[in-house]
Structure 1
Amino acid sequence: MAASRDRAPLAELVEELLATDGPLPIVAAGDPVLRRAAEPFEGQLGPRLLARFVEALRITMHAAPGVGLAAPQVGVGLRIAVIEDPAPVPEEVRLVRGRVPQPFRVLVNPSYAPVGGTRAAFFEGCLSVPGWQAVVARPAEVRLTCEDERGRAVDEVFTGWPARIVQHETDHLDGTLYLDRAEPRSLSSNEAMARWWAQPTPQEAAASLGFELPG
């Protein structure tokens, strides 16, 4: 019997995914690969294959479009994620959410820890949960430790929206979706978001849908 796709040797699986040009297919909620802790990266992909895979993640993230993508979201259970955010938002949104441009980064074996006790709540979406958004309260500042794609150590503090992106993508590598941390009553379709909840903060949504915000 042939091995299932998600249990195939990881290098073989990645080679299979990269056999066609263009963005990779994004796995949707309900696929078991999104609910398993990803394997630590320990050289399962050789340097050339890793570089090709990272570039494919970047292409897929841009095409979606998104500001982050974790390997399990394309069916590969490795602790690798990419992030990048040009932050094309109005000044009011930038100030309220702390959303500032982030360069392209590769996070290998990342983990994060809160810095301080401040939490911020905003609507959040996910490429693996298309069509929906919900309010998630997260630490406003986190310390990220990981390696980059060349094996160099990273130890950096992120605040505002970049901290949210780091948490969201690292959570994927632990089998956690943003919905696990979300306020259930805030769950809104993209259409509802465009019609009612496009404000910089979710205060109106909280008042109308009946949920509380931190602080």
Structure 2
Amino acid sequence: MTVSSPDSPTALAGDARPALLEARALTRQFGHGRTAVHALRGVSLDVAPGRLVAVRGRSGSGKTTLLNILGGLDLPTSGTVRINGHDLGALSDRHRIMLRRGTVGFVFQSFGLIPYLTAAENASIPLRIARTDAAEVRERVARVLDQVGLTGHAEHRPAELSGGQQQRVGIARALAQGPQLLIADEPTGHLDTAQGLQILALLREIADSENTAMIVSSHDRRVADFADEVLLIEDGRIGGQ
């Protein structure tokens, strides 16, 4: 695990693989004038395939704002984000959505499951939105549920699952379209210690086995044990430990 330097983009020494995600000099300002909030202040980072980068910081430090911009859910006030060489800020809204759907998977703290759908149905949502063939939907959902250890729970609804199992469904949903980049915002925030460690281990396993670029935000120091690199963010800036 490497703790990043504040003076350069975060890239592991000796890792010659090109970055899938490149962010340069990101700023994000909300409002104007004296009441403006500067959520990000010049953040730069790289994430290569198969690497898990952790973003640590207290509530309000800028973690979620950063992840939203890296995943194309929001645009920076200044700076650039490139995914597979595509500048997100230069794309139309439509093309940015298309790139996001085909390349980026999201895992959220609150799980975001639809309560009346089964685990399999929840995991299939992005595939159904993309109008994937029904036979392929079944095959992909079976594969991702197996990957997250929920083969025997495919027909269970969220209320019938533990918190850790619900988060595994959320991860399966994020994996369903085979994303090259997975962004997880406080994925252990609603879990106890044991379940949280299991989810972090699962994310590490996915990064390794699927060669997925991964960025995980957390206020929990334990995330460092599973990361290749740790970014420490405070007041919208990346700093040393």
Does TM, normalized by the shorter one, top 0.5? Answer: no
TM-score, normalised to structure 2, is 0.27
TM-score, normalised to structure 1, is 0.29
